[in-house]
Amino acid sequence: MIELRPYQENLIKDMRHAFNTGKHSVCAVLGCGGGKSVIEGMIAKSAVDKDGRVLFLVHRKELCQQITATFIDCGVNLAKCKIAMVQTVTRRLEAMTKPQLIITDEAHRCLAATYQRIYDYWPDVPRVGFTATPMRMNEGGLGKVFDTLIESVSTPWLIANHYLAPYRYYSAKLADADDLHTKRGDYDSNEVAELMEDGVIYGETVKNWLNIANGKKTIVYCASVKASMETTESFKAAGISAAHIDGTTPANIRQELVAKFKAGEITVLCNVELFGEGFDVPDCECVVLLRPTKSLTLYIQQSMRSMRYMPGKTAIIIDHVGNVFRHNFPDADHEWTLKAKKQKQKNVIRIKECPVCYYVMSNMEKACPSCGYVFTKQEMAAAEIVDIELEELKQIDVLKALPYSHYKKVKTFGELVLFQKAKNYKFSWTLHRAVELGIEIPSNYNYMMRFIKI
């Protein structure tokens, strides 16, 4: 039998108290790697031991198998606990036995129509859900499904108490998504694929991995099947044992490759949207992010996949697409709510990267904790620019009303960027106008100049 950790027991007590005080549906928040599936198993066991029936909802077939194994370890009577994909349940509602409890795994997905159909079919059945990020992209909080939110311990607490591994974050940016369009809240997948399907990116990915994480068991998150396959081949060409896997890979081959990865026979496993939620490989030491995303949930799921705890382990995150500058560090604090999100506010993230080793750190660091590089006064001043972003927003409001020709009057690259933001132009416009006006372009944008036609 599995023994719960103290914070897991406390979370269950808090959820039980919520139901005892009249709540009907409870959403529990616990960071990635905090052991949500074990808590779910013990809640299911408690329900079926009282002769209740439980419906457990997941969104992928592989998770059914993984959850079943965990529930068996928890002592759950599976004759009274139905573990099923939401896609299957929503088609067979009339033929199913009514449960006394519905548990939703990865509950940030629960606003989708398939989940709603199930909840609406049994509106009087109590619900519990578990997630690390209680929000759905482009829709906000989960108040439509849950009437109370209970937060467990934070991710920094899990790291400090040795339930998650500490990490080192590197951001060697190889592609910029600022010019991409948005569909359903995230970057257009076709445009992302086109951006990331670049031989230069594949080669630089391997080069940086060799410098930062050589030999460490690594999961690479790619933007398309082509990008994943080409990245795999680039690793192989460098003499590294690597494999590609995606949703179309036959189940038996997928299982074989995952088994080889877990056994250490494969060092680098490249994939497309597979190994996020529910994939547990404690000795995975590194993740490489090759897919830009506006989704905080996806970012946290992918970036923290290497942070499962092992004694003496320090996880490595290599971000080639700047996700950390959109979402902050994966263990950053968030104020969660069940309410729909308010109008988007400016997200000020006070971090910077080392120009030598790409290590990401607080703006206030005077020297890189990874390689010891000492920042110049000019670099320290540049890093503090984020502290005046609210003033920048006021300037943008003024610039919006100025005519297009105003750009010819600007003198610095920063002023060009402000005008571009005010007019909602693509960032490539700024680079073109800088070349036109003879304004010096900061060196950190040199990698983009190969895409600019002069």
pLDDT value at position 152? Answer: 96
CATH of 167-375, one of 3.30.70.120, 3.80.10.10, 3.20.20.80, 3.40.50.300: 3.40.50.300
pLDDT at 275: 67
Measured distance CA(330)–CA(333) in Å, rounded: 9
Phi, psi of 56 (to 5 degrees): -110, 120
Distances (CA, A) of 151 to 274, 316, 334, 405, 442: 27, 27, 11, 52, 43
Q: Could you check whether 6-153 and 167-375 share the same CATH topology?
A: yes
Residue 426, pLDDT score: 84
Q: Which residues have CB under 8 Å from 289's CB, separation 6+?
A: 221, 299, 302, 303, 317, 318, 319, 320, 321, 323
Compute the distance between CA of residue 304 and CA of residue 302 in angstroms, rounded to an integer.
6
Domain ranges of the chain: 6-153, 167-375, 383-451
What's residue 234's pLDDT? Answer: 97
User: How distant, in Å, are the alpha carbons of 83, 174, 356, 390 from that of 368?
Assistant: 48, 21, 9, 27
Q: First-to-last CA distance in the chain?
A: 67
Q: Residue-wise pLDDT tens for the chain (454 aa)?
A: 688 999 999 999 999 999 999 999 999 999 999 999 999 999 999 999 999 999 999 988 778 888 999 999 999 999 999 999 999 999 999 999 999 999 999 999 999 999 999 999 999 999 999 999 998 765 667 999 999 999 999 999 999 999 999 999 999 889 989 889 998 889 999 999 999 998 889 999 999 999 999 999 999 999 999 999 999 999 999 999 999 998 888 888 988 998 899 899 999 999 987 765 555 666 789 999 999 999 999 999 999 999 999 999 999 999 999 999 999 999 998 889 898 765 455 567 789 999 999 999 998 899 999 999 999 888 887 666 444 444 555 567 678 878 888 888 888 888 888 888 888 888 888 888 888 898 988 876 776 776 666 5
3-state class (DSSP) for residue 394: helix
Q: How far is CA 416 from CA 349, 423, 426, 448, in A?
A: 22, 11, 12, 16
Alpha carbon distance 243, 231 (integer Å): 9
Q: What is the predicted pLDDT for the residue at 417?
A: 85
Structure tokens that stand for 118 in this block: 């199930």
Residue 291, token pair as written in the block: 């897919």
Determine the topology of domain 6-153 in CATH. Answer: Rossmann fold (3.40.50)
The predicted pLDDT at position 240 comes to 98
Q: What is the model's pTM?
A: 0.82
Radius of gyration for the alpha carbons in the chain, expressed in angstroms and rounded: 24
* Cβ atoms 439, 418 nearer than 8 A: no
